[in-house]
Amino acid sequence: MMRKRTDETPKSKKLKPLQGQTLDLSIISLDEDGYGIADHADTKIRVNGAFPGEQVRARITFSGQRDTFADTIKILRGSPERLPEPPCSKGTACDGCQLIQMKYQAQLDWKKGLVEATLRRYPSLRETTIRPVLAAKKPLGYRTTAKLMISGKFAAPNIGIYRRNSHQVIDIGNCPLHHPLINQIVAAVREGIRKGKVPIYNPKTRNGILRYLVIRVSEQEDRAMAVFVTSERSFNEIHHLTKHLQKAVPQVMVVAQSVNNSTGNVILGDREYFVTKRQTLTEKIGDIRFSVSPRSFFQVNNDGARTIYEQVRQWAALTGSERVVDVYCGVGGISLFLAGNSHEIIGIEVVAAAVADAEKNASMNGIRNCRFEAGDAARQLEDISAEAVAVDVVVLNPPRKGCDEEVLRSCANLKPRRIIYVSCSPTTLARDLNLLAGLGYRALEVQPVDMFPQTSHVENVALLASETRLS
Nearest by Cα to 9 from 31, 41, 36, 40? 41
Known catalytic residue at 424: yes
- Per DSSP, helices labelled H in 6-154 are 11-15, 104-119
Residues in contact with 243: Cβ distance below 8 Å, sequence separation at least 6, in sequence order: none
Buried/exposed code over 141-150 (b: 16+ C-beta within 10 A; e: otherwise): bbbbbbebbb
Nearest by Cα to 317 from 416, 414, 243? 416
Q: DSSP character for 471?
A: -
- What gap in Å lies between CA 413 and CA 215, rounded to an integer? 42
- What gap in Å lies between CA 76 and CA 25, rounded to an integer? 9
Compute CA 49 distance to the chain's CA centroid, rounded to the nearest angstrom: 20
Tell me phi and psi for residue 147, to 5 degrees. Answer: -120, 110
Strand partners, 59: 22, 71
For 270-367, strand residue ranges (E) read 272-274, 281-285, 288-292, 323-327, 344-349
Given 88, 94, 329, 424, the catalytic residue? 424
Task: Indicate the SS3 state at residue 337.
Answer: helix
Task: Indicate the SS3 state at residue 257.
Answer: strand
- What gap in Å lies between CA 323 and CA 246, rounded to an integer? 46
The catalytic residues are 424
